[in-house]
Amino acid sequence: MSIVTSNSESTASAGRPRSEEAHQAILDATLALLVTSGFSALTVEGVATRAGVGKATIYRRWPSKVHLVMEAFSQLPGLKEVDTGSLVGDLGKMLRSYVEILNSTPLAAILPSLAGERAHNPELSKLFDPLLKERRQPVIHALERAVERGEVRSDIDYDLTADLIFGPIVMRVFFTGSRINPKILGPVIDAVLRGITPRPRDQPG
């Protein structure tokens, strides 16, 4: 059972089982309305109507709109583990695929809403934070492998470095909302690996 899903598969109980059909219809309606209306304009009433479901059926499964949106969010794809043998290759492949996800799913629209809510909602924070940690693991693993290979200095802070790598992407998702141009990934990876200072070998002489 996932962190965010409710215990629908727990101890077989008497009575009518919950409708899996309704469950998915609700999540689908949620994602659809998130795309068209955004998080704060999303109403549980609207989700219920679109899903052809009673409000109680939603509240029976999720304690609040935030939790509902969070489960919808958790269904969206994330980073995939990639091992090409080099950090440049790993990061390039992972980030390119991630940008593709950001550009083709509601993920980019939902992420800032949840982060914005997280700050004032400890309950959400409790669910959201581990999820976020989990979702960046592929990059952490790639960094660990790179350190083992000697490609990267061994004294780096993994979390901080992951922040450095995700930073430019997240900055754009949060502050511009526009499509992420995959062309920025090359320069970003290059800067992270080798810095922005001039390189001796690039200089004549």
What residues between 33 and 52 interact with DNA by CB under 7 A? Answer: 42-46, 52
Q: How far apart are CA 79 and CA 30, in angstroms?
A: 22
State yes or no: residue 19 binds DNA (CB under 7 A). yes
CA distances (Å), origin 31, targets 80, 82, 145: 22, 28, 36
State yes or no: residue 5 binds DNA (CB under 7 A). no
What residues between 85 and 124 interact with its own copies by CB under 8 A? Answer: 108-109, 112-121
Where b means 16+ CB within 10 Å and e means fewer, 96-109 reads: ebbbeebeebbbbb
Residue carrying structure tokens 């992972």: 94
Compare residues 2 and 194 and give the one whose CB is closer to its own copies. Answer: 194
* Backbone region of residue 80 per phi and psi (left: phi > 0; alpha: psi in -120 to 50; beta: other values): beta
Q: Which residues bind its own copies (CB under 8 A)?
A: 36-41, 108-109, 112-121, 125, 129, 132, 150-153, 156-157, 160-161, 163-164, 166-168, 170-172, 174-177, 184, 187-188, 191-199, 202
Which residues make up the interface to DNA (CB under 7 A)?
12-19, 22-23, 42-46, 52-57, 59-61, 63-65
